[in-house]
Amino acid sequence: MPRLKEVVRKPAVQQAAGWSFARYLDLVRATNSWVHEPADIYDRLGPLQPLIGAMWHGQHFMAPYLRRPQDRAASLVSKSSDGELNAIALHHLGVRAIRGSGARGRDQRLKGGSSALRAMLRALAGGENMFLTADIPKIARICGTGVVLLARMSGRPIVPVAVATSRRKEFQSWDRASLGLPFGRGAIVAGDPIWVPSDADDAVLEERRLATERELDRVNARAFGLVGGSDPGAGLRRPGAGQPSDRAS
């Protein structure tokens, strides 16, 4: 008998699982009553496109809700087996996956960080919005340098975003991920755009990194507050952990 891990990694199984997950996310989107903040969120974001939508890692299941049908979008997805499932689901939701992630001090080439950065720059230059999680890999709620470097190199703004639902499954994972459930209320919150000058030095990059971190905390707290809850990932940031060394997180 084949082991379970071998079965779930079969392409046909992953394709079916990814399609099913996409349809589940469609159900959650259709059966929740949504509020946007600001109320004219897409009127405000429209002139900023293509933009860099940044979110905390525990929000990654909900990222497709940020895209309108007419918006072209791509998302950074890890090269892990879990990432393959996410990439398939994103495809069925109209979002193009770019595979790669930061390596947190290891050789970036081992995880596709450098090639992913180039692919994200091409996506933005071609008019696609780019969505990615801002955390350093496996270090929750510490914004990495990758997102601010992408903003500096592309000339496009970072827009911190958060999505929350009143009914949700919360996981005891390193990022305190949450997955929306049907038949509740939902909130989509976008923060103020953060621009990074093309000539930004290390001091400016650090200032914009911290600004992104603070705004991500704010929009997450607000999104969960709007649906009558609290951010399950609040308080995960560890003192002394905010010294990012990644370059494509």
Peptide bond into 38 cis (omega under 30): yes
Contact in structure between 196 and 204 (CB atoms under 8 Å): yes
Residue 238 lies in a domain: no
Q: How many domains does one find in the chain?
A: 1
What is the pTM for the complete model shown? 0.88
User: Rounded CA gap, 173 and 170, in Å?
Assistant: 9
pLDDT of residue 63: 82
Confidence at 8, pLDDT banded by 50, 70, 90: low
Residue 147 in any domain: the answer is yes
Whether residue 236 is contained in a domain is answered as no
DSSP summary character for residue 203? H
**pLDDT digit string, tens, across residues 191-220:** 999 999 999 999 999 999 999 999 999 999
Decide if pLDDT at 105 tops 50. no
On whether residue 221 sits in a domain, the answer given is yes
Tell me the per-residue pLDDT of 108-129, one tens digit each, with 9 for 90 and over. 433 456 889 999 999 999 999 9
CA angle 134, 137, 142 (to 5 degrees): 50
**181 Cβ partners below 8 Å, 6+ apart?**
28, 165, 167, 168, 169
Task: Classify residue 82: in a domain, yes or no.
Answer: yes
